Amino acid sequence: MPDLSDQPAHAPYDALLLLSFGGPEGPEDVVPFLENVTRGRGIPRERLQEVGQHYFLFGGVSPINEQNRELLGALQQDFSTHGMDLPVYWGNRNWAPYLTDTLRRIVADGHRRVLTLATSAYASYSGCRQYRENIADALAALQAEGLPLPRVDKLRHYFNHPGFVQPMVDATLAALEQLPKDVRDGAHLAFTTHSIPTAAADTSGPAPAHGDGGAYVAEHLDVARTIVRAVREETGVERPWQLVYQSRSGAPHIPWLEPDICDHLESLHGAGAPAVVMVPIGFVSDHMEVKYDLDTEATAKAAELGLPVARAATVGADARFAAAVRELVLERAATERGERPERCALGALGPSHDVCPVGCCPARAPRPAAAGADSPYA
């Protein structure tokens, strides 16, 4: 093992990759972007035009790219403030800047040990394994071009890190303040996340976590309980709450996680709930699925019902989240050096694994995945 005694605290890593989903930045980008997202599924262009209406309502621009630029700036600022000279790069799975292009630039800049921050906090195929598959695809492209291959690792799931949870606690409290005083204390909390097929949920996380809902549901429930406790301590009010889902996109005959947020609002209204706060714990930033599915669709449903609602903000580029990323980088770097760093986590589940084990969030079809125990690029 090389002597790292004179190396920076982030050694052996020499670059951080912010890896996200990507989104269109103009009307002409919408259909090509959706073609990237759905490649290989044989979805007609006409259908993509229909799906794209969500984006066209916002001028054909997804908020996610600008939000990633803000997060990139927040990370760079935090690193600089704390004397951590670690360059941060940004790449997307489905739109520019593309992951493969970003890895080419990382290699051209001379970096060979890359740590990845994915903008997905929880264990699931689409939230973890698919990112790892995309990294493997990008590395294969670099290999075919004869370029040096960096080693690419991935930060652990950060769903229960204090720097991710505490901003959501504060956002929930702020959303409660938006409600009329006469309904505030009776408001229910609806914790929302992306619905996924139940089969994918059941096999999310390491194999021992597989079962009803798998790690995906268990992790979200743990975060929700943590926020509920913190809000109760702050307000002195015990609030009813439930984990609900949004943004379903699959075929009707395939079971997906339920209930949907709009159905849940109808149920709460029918049961006499005076108000609801929607808390999007499953999302890192206020991207399209938050802006449309919650701020547009669910809010319209609540208005139709006459049910007062407020929506809590996502973490976004909160300085506490940027600090959490720095802590996670230093934690993983220390672990790679053979040390035993403190691993921060709230709730009952404890800190997640550093390296995804074999059988973790298995693929729909066998495909190579980097940054895991089964990586061909270790």
For 295-354, write each residue's pLDDT tens digit. 999 999 999 999 999 999 999 999 999 999 999 999 999 999 999 999 999 999 999 999
Share of the chain above pLDDT 70, in %: 99
Task: Return the residue matching tokens 């702020």.
Answer: 174
pLDDT tens, residue by residue, 290-301: 999 999 999 999
State how far the Cα of 71 lies from the Cα of 21, in Å rounded to an integer. Answer: 14
pLDDT range class, residue 17, cuts 50, 70, 90: very high
Estimate the crossing angle of helix 319-336 against helix 162-178, to 10 degrees: 160
Tell me the mean pLDDT in the region 354-362: 96
Cα distance from N-terminal residue to C-terminal residue, the chain: 16
Share of the chain above pLDDT 90, in %: 92
CA nearest neighbour of 287 among 80, 24, 1? 24
pLDDT higher than threshold 80 for residue 6: no
pLDDT range class, residue 44, cuts 50, 70, 90: confident
Output 248-252 pairs: Cβ under 8 A, ≥24 positions apart.
248/195, 250/197
Q: Half-sphere exposure of 85 toward its Cβ, with a 13 Å CA cutoff? A: 2
Q: What is the dihedral of CA 169, 318, 122, 19, to 10 degrees?
A: 170
Burial of 141 (0-12, 13-18, 19+ CB in 10 A): middle
pLDDT at 286: 97
3-state secondary structure of 372: strand
Q: What is the dihedral of CA 210, 212, 215, 216, to 10 degrees?
A: 130
pLDDT higher than threshold 70 for residue 5: no
Burial of 354 (0-12, 13-18, 19+ CB in 10 A): middle
pLDDT at 164: 98
Looking at every residue in the chain, the average pLDDT score rounds to: 96
Question: Phi, psi (5° rounding) for residue 188?
Answer: -85, 155
pLDDT at 211: 98
pLDDT range class, residue 378, cuts 50, 70, 90: confident
pLDDT at 3: 52
pLDDT higher than threshold 70 for residue 249: yes
Tell me the mean pLDDT in the region 6-14: 94
State how far the Cα of 55 lies from the Cα of 139, in Å rounded to an integer. Answer: 31
pLDDT higher than threshold 70 for residue 157: yes
Tell me the mean pLDDT in the region 187-199: 98
Cβ(246)–Cβ(278) below 8 Å? no
- Write the CA distances from 75 to 102, 124, 217, 321, 326, integer angstroms: 17, 25, 29, 9, 8
pLDDT higher than threshold 60 for residue 13: yes
Q: Which of 40-44, 233-237, 373-377 is predicted least confidently?
A: 40-44
pLDDT range class, residue 42, cuts 50, 70, 90: confident
pLDDT at 27: 95
pLDDT tens, residue by residue, 128-147: 999 999 999 999 999 999 99
Before 97, cis peptide (omega within 30)? Answer: yes
CA nearest neighbour of 237 among 319, 280, 314, 179? 179
pLDDT higher than threshold 80 for residue 377: yes
pLDDT higher than threshold 70 for residue 47: yes
Amino acid at 80: S
Gyration radius of the chain's alpha carbons: 21
pLDDT range class, residue 51, cuts 50, 70, 90: confident
pLDDT range class, residue 258, cuts 50, 70, 90: very high
CA 138 distance to own-chain centroid: 20
pLDDT at 278: 99
